[in-house]
Chain A
Amino acid sequence: MAMAEFVLITGRTAKQGAALSRGKDSSEYRQATGFVQMSREDRECLGVEEGRRVRLRTVFGEAELELREGDVPPGMLFVPLGPAANTLIAADTQGTGMPDSKGLVVEVELI
């Protein structure tokens, strides 16, 4: 069980956008929002293959996602906007109305 700390970025993707109209119960939407992107360096360093399920944990919550290699800088993870991303972000908005959706510290655990 490997553990490592990363910076989490959430955001929109074209697939997630298109899948919205297929319905949130659709397999397209689940697939479009149910993965985490990690750099090749980090993936190799952790010794984990693509397609593995991993658990992401922040101080606010945790989510299980499929690991994919992606073009992100080492040390960063990207998760598309969606139900999984929401479990990881803070409800505290520090007086702005906007939760901290980008730049959170996140732990990755292999399962």
Chain B
Amino acid sequence: MIVGNVVCPFCGCLCDDIVVTVEDNRITAVEKACTSGRSLFLNVHTQTAKPTVDGKEVEWAEAVDVAARILTDAANPLIYGLSSTASEAQRKAIALADLLGATIDSTSSVCHGPTTIGIQVEGEPTCTLGEIKHRADLLVFWGCNPAESHQRHFARYSVLAKGKLTPGGRRDRTMVVVDVRPTLSTRRADVFLQVRPGHDFELLNALRALLKGQDLDVDQVGGVEVARLQDLVERMKSCRFGVIFFGMGVTQTGGKHLNVAELVALVAELNAYTRFTAMPMRGHGNVAGADCTLTWQTGYPFAVNFARGYPQYNPGEFTAVDVLARGETDAALIIASDPVAHFPRRAAQRLAQIPTIVLDPEMSLTAQVARVVLPTAFYGVNAAGTAYRMDNVPLPLKKVVDSSQPTDEQVLDWIIEKVKTCSA
């Protein structure tokens, strides 16, 4: 059987043109996907996995019971992850956090959390990816490397895409990359500005000054000659439709949210000359969805705490790395992410010290230190659901092969019911 128009849930591109061949409930071929997407589809297993408690296989009812007890007994539980599950499950996870008075945070906090903070300061002039495809003649990639992290971005949405006003594709566009090092993406660029690590804010600030017609009394800023910055400003002012795509080179480096606020301010100001937009390169398949669901249910996109019975928001106080590293969390429910593999050591270690519950189709490094492991179906491969692309366009994830595993949504429902009876 051949299934077309499958949405790949790997990264924020959510390419929806994947063709998957299924034989005997196994995926045998994947067309159009990038190497990461191919690997995802070809490696999803379909054999039945039982939940475990303390490493021993148990029935689902028992595992859910233990998980619910851990969460109700905890004084300050954390629910974390969410970026690789469907929005249907994210909504349940937030309901559970509300019920428990827990802290809830998504992997946004360690990728584009600073972007959110920057947006809350300066705003967000943006658009959907189709506008870039059809209109943009100037593409700036700042602190990101889509050639490796979002491999089909260039072809589907940006550099190579042929659109209404850009019928020539690559030759109708100018590509600028700002990064601290040469990458596969910088090699494709017409202009590469190599900024010294930690100097992004200064560079953005200098561009704003030049845009306002101010003279800079230095020869270079952040390792880049002022003449080249002036050239970039002229390109920006004179293009038809411009965009800055930005990644973790902006959000994870010194300045963090201040860099994003500065970038947004620059883009907003450019709209006095031409149309200009900005877009964060969201990493995980449904990390944008985690922002969306958390926002419509709590008012805030990450770093939310319900201890007072209502949502409170404070990055640094209620973000996962902080509550773990400070030792405040006394139980954790990790959904579809692997903080042990991606968090600073001190935060990761805390997860091994406290009762941790993992909902994940994969035996992640976090699952290996968890008390309760709940193996669930893989959204977009063996379960249907919804994911939000990096530009917040929602797409339907398909079920292409069957699985006997329950979905994250189902398991969260079971836990919610159990918690309600525990606390009643």
Contacts and interface: CB of A to CB of B under 8 A. Distances in A.
A9 interface: yes
A13 B185 CA distance: 11
Contacts, number: 156
A27 B347 CA distance: 25
Given A11-B145, A76-B197, A98-B114, A87 B319 contact: no
Interface of A: 7, 9-14, 17-25, 60-61, 71-73, 76, 78, 81-83, 86-87, 89-103
A61 B256 CA distance: 22
Given A95-B315, A103-B253, A24 B341 contact: yes
Interface of B: 10-11, 34-36, 38-40, 42-44, 105, 109-110, 113-114, 117, 145, 147-149, 151, 180-184, 194, 197-198, 248-249, 251-254, 256-257, 283, 302-303, 315-317, 319-322, 325, 338, 340-348, 362-365
A90 B341 contact: no
Contacts of A81: 342
22 contacts: A9-B197, A11-B248, A11-B249, A14-B36, A17-B35, A17-B149, A18-B35, A23-B363, A25-B363, A61-B345, A71-B182, A83-B340, A86-B341, A89-B344, A95-B316, A97-B303, A97-B322, A98-B252, A99-B110, A99-B344, A102-B249, A103-B254
Contacts of B109: 97-98
Interface of A, secondary structure class, is loop
B376 to A, nearest CB: 16
A19 B43 CA distance: 10
Given A23-B43, A97-B315, 19 more contacts: A12-B145, A17-B11, A18-B36, A18-B38, A21-B36, A60-B344, A72-B181, A73-B180, A81-B342, A90-B344, A91-B344, A93-B315, A93-B319, A93-B321, A94-B316, A95-B315, A96-B113, A97-B113, A102-B248
Given A17-B148, A103-B197, A97 B251 contact: no
